[in-house]
Each structure stands twice: as structure tokens, then as C-alpha cells.
Structure 1
Amino acid sequence: MTAWRTVWQGRWARSPWWDVALAACVAVAQLWPLLSRDGPWHWWGYIVAAGSALPLVARRKAALPVLLVSHAFSASYDLVDVVAPQPLWYGPLIALYTVATRSGRWVRWGALAAVFSGGLLTVGSLDTAFRGVVVSVTAYALGRAAAGSRAYAAVLEERAARLERERILEAERAAERERARIARDMHDILAHAVSLMVVQAEAGPVVVRADPERAVATFDAIAGAGRDAMDQLRRILAVLREEQGSGAPKATVEDLPDLVRQAAGAGVEVGYEVAGEPRPLPPDLGAAVYRIVQEALTNVVKHAGASRADVRLSWQEQELAIEIRDNGRGTTAGLPPGGGNGLVGIRERAAAYGGTASAGPGPAGFTVRARLPL
């Protein structure tokens, strides 16, 4: 119903031909009593009847002048003694309806007063005057009701447009957050894998000469880090291809032992400790825990110059505490350009799930801590 009315208002109600057709119909209705009566033809009655209807062609552009002209012709109709006995009120009523729909308060009230005054000066009986007042008030009330309905429809349309704009903005913000999350994931995956591969590759020539068997293990670790990075990148790309975005598995807390073994393959001794009772985590939260530990270990391998690092997960009643501690330099002051991006990513991941993260010098090195609510 709403769609039909919108089409009607848009295509026909605003068309000038609609007013032309309306004026023609009103002219016929007002001329009909003259054409159907017996007696001689009186040209003045036809002019008055037509003059009361034809101004309706311009009723949208000049509502008040059209009303005054139409009402003047209609009022003069009663002064012609050769016409049918009933007054022709159709043109003035439609003009009054238009004024009530489109004009301001004072113009409306002034027009209504003018209609009443002119009617009282020309009618011949109280009964006719009463009928004129009733139909005029009815036309005015219908016009105000139409104006209110139109204003209400405009409010609803504006509200719907605003909600649609808000929906689009929210979708854009969600897409931006998702792009940022994917960028962090890819940064963490590549930074971790490439760091391990670079460290192991640099040590490879030395190990080959000193300990061939250990060199084989080193090269195996390089290949394993590359394969793991490729697997995780495939997971991300699979998520991007999924329409629902949830068809591919994500790294979780259960994958942390493998992550620790990879870091140990880069020449850093890594300890892994779990305190408390582990609990299942939502996939996104589990992936966030994994990425936080991954980025912290990547910084240990790349920047800390540490020989040992310890990863500790403490499962508490309402939160999960994560701590990664190393025995390296204990500061990030000497990091190369871009070296602090991972720590920013850790804070952003924790904040995204209502948690907190901090990083700074520890008792004998550098410590990264994060707390995530459960």
C-alpha cells in the first residue's frame, strides 16, 4: 500500500495534467445543472460556472489566489437569477482543501474567514449558509488531515533514510575493523614465520660446518615455519572467500605448544606453563590469545637477543592472564623502524575483547602481559 501510494504521489499527484483534468471535471460538474435544466440559454451562468472551476489548473502554484478567484465566481453565481437553484461549491471546496494542505497557519485561517464572509453575503437562507459552513469546514479538515499524513510520511521516509545511512556506515566500520583484523593476522603470521626463518638461515652455514645433523634439523625448522605460515595464510584467504566468514578453522589456544616448538627451533629456549583449569574459548577469542603469544615470541626472536623465554597462561575465574617473559635486553629502545607494530597490535587485540595489555622491562629482560575477560 505504501509503495503504491508513493508511486501515485510521485508520478500522478505532482503532474500538472492532473490539475488540468481535475479542473475539467469540476467544470463539467458545475455546468451540468445549467445544461440539464429547461429554459432559455443564459451565457452569464456558463461563464460563472466555468470561471469557478478553471483556476484550479494553477492551484498548486498559487493556492490562495485560486481560492479567492474561484470563490468570487461561485459567490456571484447566486446573484444570477437564471441558473439552477443549487449553489456550485465544488471549485471553491477543492481550492480551500488545497490551501489547507499547502499554506501556513495565518493564510489558512484568513482564507477560511474570507470563504465564510463571502458565503454569508450571498446566500439566501440560513439553511443554505449552514450547509456552506459544514462543507467548507469538512474540506478544510480533510486538507489538514492530508497535510498531516504527508508530513508523517515525510518523517517516516527521513527516518528510514537515516537508518539506512547508519546501517551503511556501520557496515563500512565493520568492514574496516575486519580489514584491520586481517592485516594484524597477516602481519603476525608473516613476521613470526619470516623471523624464525631468517634467524635459522643465518645460523645455517655455521651449523653445517660444525654439526651437520643439527643443520638438517635447522633446515627442517625453516621448512616447517614456511609451511605453517602458508597454512595460516590459506586459512585467512579461505575466510575471505567464505560468504559467512566462519567456514575456516582459526588458530586457537590448543595450537600454542606447536608455536612454542617453532620458536625453540630458532635457537631460543622456550618454556610453556599453564595454571588453572583451561576452558573452551570462542573461536575469535582463542585466535586472539594465539596471536598475542605469537607476536610476543616474534619480538623475542627478532629484537630481544634473548636465550630463553617463558610463556605462561593463568586461567582464572573471570579472566585469562597471559605473560611472555624473556631474559634479553629488557627494552625496545633499539628496535628498528616498524619494530613496535607488534606491541601495538597486542594492545589492540586485547582491547577488542575488553581486555588490557602492557609491555615493558621485567626483572631480567622484557615482559609482555595481557588480560582477557572470559
Structure 2
Amino acid sequence: MTDVGVALLVQAVMTTPWVIPRAPGLPEATLTAYLLTTLTVVPLVWRRRAPVAVLCAILVTQGVYGLAVDGPGQTLPYNGLVALYTVAALSPAPKRQITGALVFAVVFPSVALNTGEARELVFSLIVFAAAYAMGRLTHTRQAYTAAVEDRAAQLEQANRIEAEQATARERARIAREMHDIPSHAVSIMIVQAEAGPVAVRSAPERAEAAFDSISETGRDAMVQLRRMLGVMREGEPADGRTDAPREPQPGPAALPALVERVARSGLDVGYETTGRAVPLPLDTGAAVYRIVQEALTNVVKHAAARVVFVRLAYGPDALDITVTDDGRGPVTGTAPSGGHGLIGIRERAAAHDGTARSGPGPGGKGFEVHVTLPLGQYQ
């Protein structure tokens, strides 16, 4: 439709000599001359489909008009200028350059057959050069616009991929938190509850301590779950108040309390810190706590161990976390956790550029979880 509109506009402009009264002595504006003029405009309908062919057709029909009909001329070769503009804007370089050179070569004999004046020659060369230059500017602008749009599309796709990856990482992080907190608390509570009836008959004071431990563990789990759910909320009340606790997640400083709670389940739990401790960022400290918590949870649930030892060794460049027990190790094939605990430990270590390995303990006895977190950036 655009090309048809351009052709109609050019036809309207070129109709001017046939509707304006002409001075005596000028060539007569006949119907035959008008129809032949229209024939030079019709090819513009296909100018963007075949620019070079349209330009050639226009040049040929204009030549026929000039040689066969003594009709009124035009102020400007409008149809030829539009065709040359289209060639410059749409055609590939070799075809565009050759066609442009031929058009400029045709200008000279055309002027010679018309007036032969230098003024007409210079004017014709200028207007055709301007049409060619406008076509090239249009091509450059369209190429730039396409490049900008392509770049915007690539950025949008990259942002979408990054958002999807961030969502996946956040889902994995939430899954680890949801696994670690209830799993640890429930494991301790189950062990204490199973020991409770026996202790009621043989040692009532131990039964009371077991029930107190169950209560404390449950409350601690609820506090941590409430904290995590509060962080996950999308918004807060208008007055800015919220029921979600604002305390940071537990870090290495909370490990002694964790060890004490696990020891109440009947395990002999040892804890040791070596080297010069350095302050850790909140997320790294929380990772240290969760790694130890999950390792101890695995011991309680699967190891059937009597003794477990936790060691944090601060070195010059790294923190080594070791949890060793004298049990049989996690039975991932039948364990309710499906082995997700060890996977979570590896994921937490990897999130902080660390490494994690697990396997038989020293001398092939028991089970050991060993995690190394780099500390060079915190020194």
C-alpha cells in the first residue's frame, strides 16, 4: 500500500502540466502524452520488490516519451528520482553502485537531447546525487535502528535468562533452608521422644530434660521458620510493622548451642575451634552453621553413632569444617531424606566458592563430612 501511495503521489505531481493552462507556443498537453507519462509512473508500484528493474523500466519509458511524443515536460524527473532513491536504499553494494553509475552516465545524453545547457546538466547531477545520498542515509538509519532493536532484544533475552537463573538459585536456596530447619529439629525431637518413655521408667529426671529439649528444639525451629517466611514475604503492612523476627541467621557463634541441643539426644558431641577466627559475612556465617547443622542431622538420623566430633579450623586462606562420627554413615538408598542433606552441603559450599566431600572417616571407620571455604577475601 505504501508503494501504491507513492506512485499515486508522483502521478499527481506529474499531472500538473495537464491541468494548469499553458502559454501559447508550448507543446500541447495531449491525452496520449498523459497516458505515456502515466506509464512511466506505474513501475513505482513494484519499486521495493525489484528496485533496479523498476528504475530501468522508468528510464526506458521516459526515453520513449522523449523521442515519440512532443508533450509537456516536467520540472523534475520525479519518478526517476524516487526509483534511484529506492535502489540506493535497498540494493546490495555492487548492484547499487553499477546502477547509480549508469544513471549518472545517462544524464549527459539526456541533457544534450533536451537543452544542452550546462545549467541543466549541473542541476540534474545535483538532484540525482541528492536522491542517491538520501537513499544511503535511509539505509544507514534503518540498519542502525535494526541493530538497536536487535541489541535490545538480546538484552531482554539475557535479562530474562538471568532472572530465570536467579529464580532457580533462590528456589534452591529456599529448598535448602526448608530442608535444613525442619529436618534438624524433627530429627532431634524424634530421638528425644523415643527416649522419653524409657527414661520415664528408669530416670524421671532425664525424661523431664528430654521433654524440655523437645520443647526448646520446636520453639527454635518455629523461630527460624518464621524468620525465613518473613523474609520471603513480598510486602509488609502499611505501618511498617511485621511479625517476622529481624535477627540475623545463626552463624559460627551459635554452634556451641547447636552442639548442646544435639548432645541432649544422647550423642557424645565434641566441638573444637582452631586457628585465629575471622569475622565472616552474614551469609557465609549462616552457611557454616547450616553445614554443621545438616551434618549433625545426618548423624542423628542415619549414622547410628555414639560419638560425633565437630571441628572448625581457621587457616591462613580457608576455613575447614569437619564433622566426624563413629557410626555407619548415611544410608542414602533408604533414608527418608533421599540424600538431599549431603547435596545441600555441597551446594552451600559451592555458593561460597568452596568444596565439600564426604566418605569414610579416619581409618575407614565411621563417616566424615569435610568442607573447605576460602577466607582470603575476609582476611
TMscore range, shorter length: 0.7 to 0.9
Question: Deviation digits for residues 66-89 of structure 1, max 9, x if unmatched?
Answer: 3233333434454444525x6531
Distance 2:150 2:21 in 1: 51
Letter in 2 for 1:111: T
1:4 aligned residue: none
Match status 1:67 vs 2:66:
no
Match status 1:266 vs 2:255:
no
1:149 aligned residue: 141
1:309 aligned residue: 308
1:97 aligned residue: 85
Shift of residue 322 of structure 1? 1.3
Q: How much identity, in percent, do the aligned residues show? A: 48
Distance 2:81 2:150 in 1: 32
- Conservation of the 8 A alpha-carbon contact between 1:75 and 1:119: no
Distance 1:96 1:36 in 2: 31
1:10 aligned residue: none
SS at match of 1:367: strand
1:210 aligned residue: 202
Shift of residue 332 of structure 1? 4.1
Distance 1:100 1:295 in 2: 70
- Conservation of the 8 A alpha-carbon contact between 1:253 and 1:286: yes
Mapping 1:123-134, distance limit 5 Å: 123-124=111-112, 125=116, 127=118, 128-134=120-126
Match status 1:197 vs 2:207:
no
Cα RMSD over matched residues? 2.7
Instruction: State the TM-score, normalized to the length of structure 2.
Output: 0.83
- Conservation of the 8 A alpha-carbon contact between 2:302 and 2:331: no
1:30 aligned residue: 14
Letter in 2 for 1:347: R
Match status 1:357 vs 2:356:
yes
- Conservation of the 8 A alpha-carbon contact between 1:78 and 1:122: no
SS at match of 1:123: helix
Match status 1:348 vs 2:347:
yes
Distance 2:357 2:104 in 1: 81
1:108 aligned residue: 96
Distance 1:355 1:283 in 2: 16
Question: Deviation digits for residues 197-234 of structure 1, max 9, x if unmatched?
Answer: 11111111111111112111111111222222222222
Gaps of 5+ in 1: 1-15
Distance 1:105 1:203 in 2: 88
Distance 1:66 1:212 in 2: 105
- Conservation of the 8 A alpha-carbon contact between 1:193 and 1:226: yes
Mapping 1:43-62, distance limit 5 Å: 43-62=31-50
* Structure 1 residues 140 and 293: alpha-carbon distance in aligned structure 2, compared to 1, 3 A threshold: same
Question: Deviation digits for residues 330-356 of structure 1, max 9, x if unmatched?
Answer: x44686344533222212211111111
Shift of residue 192 of structure 1? 1.0
Question: Deviation digits for residues 274-299 of structure 1, max 9, x if unmatched?
Answer: 22333332221111101100011112
* Structure 1 residues 309 and 252: alpha-carbon distance in aligned structure 2, compared to 1, 3 A threshold: same
- Conservation of the 8 A alpha-carbon contact between 1:295 and 1:346: yes
1:6 aligned residue: none
SS at match of 1:213: helix
Distance 1:323 1:211 in 2: 34
Letter in 2 for 1:134: I
- Conservation of the 8 A alpha-carbon contact between 1:239 and 1:248: no
Gaps of 5+ in 2: 237-244
Distance 1:132 1:235 in 2: 81
* Structure 1 residues 371 and 242: alpha-carbon distance in aligned structure 2, compared to 1, 3 A threshold: farther
Number of residue pairs the alignment of both structures matches: 355
1:235 to 227, 230, 240: 227
* Structure 1 residues 323 and 256: alpha-carbon distance in aligned structure 2, compared to 1, 3 A threshold: same
- Conservation of the 8 A alpha-carbon contact between 2:227 and 2:246: no
Letter in 2 for 1:197: M
SS at match of 2:273: strand
Shift of residue 316 of structure 1? 2.8
* Structure 1 residues 182 and 110: alpha-carbon distance in aligned structure 2, compared to 1, 3 A threshold: same
Distance 1:82 1:196 in 2: 106
Distance 1:89 1:76 in 2: 14
- Conservation of the 8 A alpha-carbon contact between 1:201 and 1:222: yes
1:254 aligned residue: 253
Question: Deviation digits for residues 156-212 of structure 1, max 9, x if unmatched?
Answer: 211221121111111101111111111112111122111111111111111111111
Distance 1:236 1:69 in 2: 76
Letter in 1 for 2:151: R
SS at match of 1:323: strand
2:334 aligned residue: 336
- Conservation of the 8 A alpha-carbon contact between 2:271 and 2:311: yes
- Conservation of the 8 A alpha-carbon contact between 2:298 and 2:330: no
Instruction: State the TM-score, normalized to the length of structure 1.
Output: 0.84
Letter in 1 for 2:220: D
1:11 aligned residue: none
Shift of residue 55 of structure 1? 3.5
Distance 1:328 1:221 in 2: 23
Distance 1:93 1:257 in 2: 88
Shift of residue 269 of structure 1? 2.2
SS at match of 2:334: coil
- Conservation of the 8 A alpha-carbon contact between 1:56 and 1:91: yes
